[in-house]
Structure 1
Amino acid sequence: MAGSDTSQLCRDADAFIFDIDGTLLNTRDLVHYRALNLAMREAYGVDTTIDGVPYHGMTDLSILRASVALADVTGLEFEAKLPEALGVVRREVEQNCAKLDPKVCDGIPETLEKLQQKGKLLGVASGNLETVGWHKVAAAGLRSFFSFGFFSDHSERRADIFRNAVREVKQRCGSEARICFVGDTPADIEAARESGANIVSVCSGTYKREELMAFAPDLCLKSCMELQEWL
């Protein structure tokens, strides 16, 4: 997209919806990691970890599904014991939330403040479970910026989470509302496209610019520090 068109896309958006991990913040603790691993031990009886799964951009449900599959847990058993597993993840993060130590990504506070001042509706759409996601955002000192959030508790596919967020924006702002997602993975780009929204990619997670550009986002920036120039 041409520079002037992209600038207009950002300035005209009624709502900005942010991914959490790699976009708003990067995790420096093991709280979520340990919660997922413990969930697999308690619910499925398998002594395994999520290390064998390329989990960046995946939802918590899909991470658990892929991880226990590597330990020969069947799909039927996965579904049957999933509520118990998710309960363990929520419980462990809730009990250990004081240990969360997120590093806020470059430019995030300034960008959120600027968007808020401009009257933009702000939300989050994350592959985390809701309890996990909001605790991370709160630990980063960012909770007050966001009016709503959608998570993976009932949506294993990221595109479904994004669609729910789009539906929420249109209910609040009208059916013609213009929506821009901000994310750091190819999965965010694909989900935004599937939900019919625009997407700004940021290289503040694990993916490099050339990897993200291969999926043709509307805009690809080093970090949200640069996004302020487009608002």
Structure 2
Amino acid sequence: SQLEVQGGAGLPTGNAFRWRDADAYLFDIDGTLLLSPDRTHRYALHRALLEVYGLETTIDGIAYHGKTDPGILRAAAERAGIAPGVIDQSMADALDVVRRYAAEKAERFRPNVLPGIREVLDLLRNAGKLLGVSSGNLESIGWIKLKSARLAEYFEFGCFADECELRVDIFRKGISEVRRRLGPDATVCFVGDTPDDVRAAQDVGGRIIAVGTGIFKVEDLAAHGPDATVTCCSELLAL
């Protein structure tokens, strides 16, 4: 029989819930589904900062984990003293540069799929669950990563940062899309690796499984009260 999860990894983080019982599952990409040691995405952001804002800078030192692409650009530009109005006025151009650079260098993306991901996706797909992604990436970049990792085929749709600078708005779009497809009572479980994922899921009324495969320790994630916390998705297979 299926065990009820209460915090996973021995970490009680809320009311027990049966993690396999949601109607739909929306996964974050970076740090949750995969890692990208190639840094191509980072270089695309650097190129936008240079071409559009005239900044020879990097995103080093920016707390970008859990942020969206436009949010990362904004933080780097603000740090360099660019006025908010100028940032806003040129943001669309900056995002276009990010997309263009990533498309030109698509073959350089070499993502590594994280432990247990394929098995969990197979399990959920075989159970008839609706699968999607909810990511702070720009849409074209998110799909480049997923295709490079051979994960794209699992997902019916994605919600990205092209029109949403805040993660909570991306998650809200995800909930809306699930319920458009499955009906107004459909239940949604998000899977993510940052406190921002946990907060966003809670704010939109979704369940959230926090995974310790990014930079945050499971203890730190558990402190934010997700429905379950696991060190990696492999642990879910036994629950």
Which TM class, normalised by the smaller chain length? over 0.9
Kindly indicate whether residue 167 of structure 2 is the aligned counterpart of residue 158 of structure 1: yes
Paired position in structure 1 for 2:28: 19
Tell me the TM-score normalised to structure 1 length.
0.96
Paired position in structure 2 for 1:4: 4
Alignment of 1:175-214 (within 5 A): 175-214=184-223
Kindly indicate whether residue 119 of structure 2 is the aligned counterpart of residue 110 of structure 1: yes
User: What secondary structure sits across from 2:97 in the alignment?
Assistant: helix
Kindly indicate whether residue 236 of structure 2 is the aligned counterpart of residue 220 of structure 1: no
After TM superposition, the runs of 4+ consecutive aligned structure 1 residues lying more than 4 A away are: 5-8
How many angstroms apart in 2 are the aligned matches of 1:69 and 1:31?
23
How many angstroms apart in 1 are the aligned matches of 2:20 and 2:52?
47
How many angstroms apart in 2 are the aligned matches of 1:229 and 1:119?
19
How many angstroms apart in 2 are the aligned matches of 1:16 and 1:9?
13
Alignment of 1:61-72 (within 5 A): 61-72=70-81
Paired position in structure 1 for 2:152: 143
Identity across matched positions, percent: 46
Amino acid at match of 2:116: G
Paired position in structure 2 for 1:120: 129
How many angstroms apart in 2 are the aligned matches of 1:120 and 1:42?
43
CA RMSD of aligned residues (A): 1.1
Q: How many residues align?
A: 228
Which structure has greater helix proportion? 1
Of 54, 60, 76, which aligns to 2:69? Answer: 60
Amino acid at match of 1:96: K
Name structure 2 gaps, 5 residues minimum.
Answer: 7-15
How many angstroms apart in 2 are the aligned matches of 1:89 and 1:55?
16
Q: Is the Cα–Cα contact under 8 Å of residues 17 and 227 in structure 2 kept in the other structure? A: no
- TM-fit CA distance, 1:5: 6.2
- TM-fit CA distance, 1:52: 2.3
How many angstroms apart in 2 are the aligned matches of 1:228 and 1:13?
15
Tell me the TM-score normalised to structure 2 length.
0.93
How many angstroms apart in 2 are the aligned matches of 1:9 and 1:82?
42
How many angstroms apart in 2 are the aligned matches of 1:208 and 1:142?
25
Query: Does the C-alpha gap of structure 1 residues 75 and 228 become closer, same or farther in structure 2, counting only changes over 3 Å?
Result: same
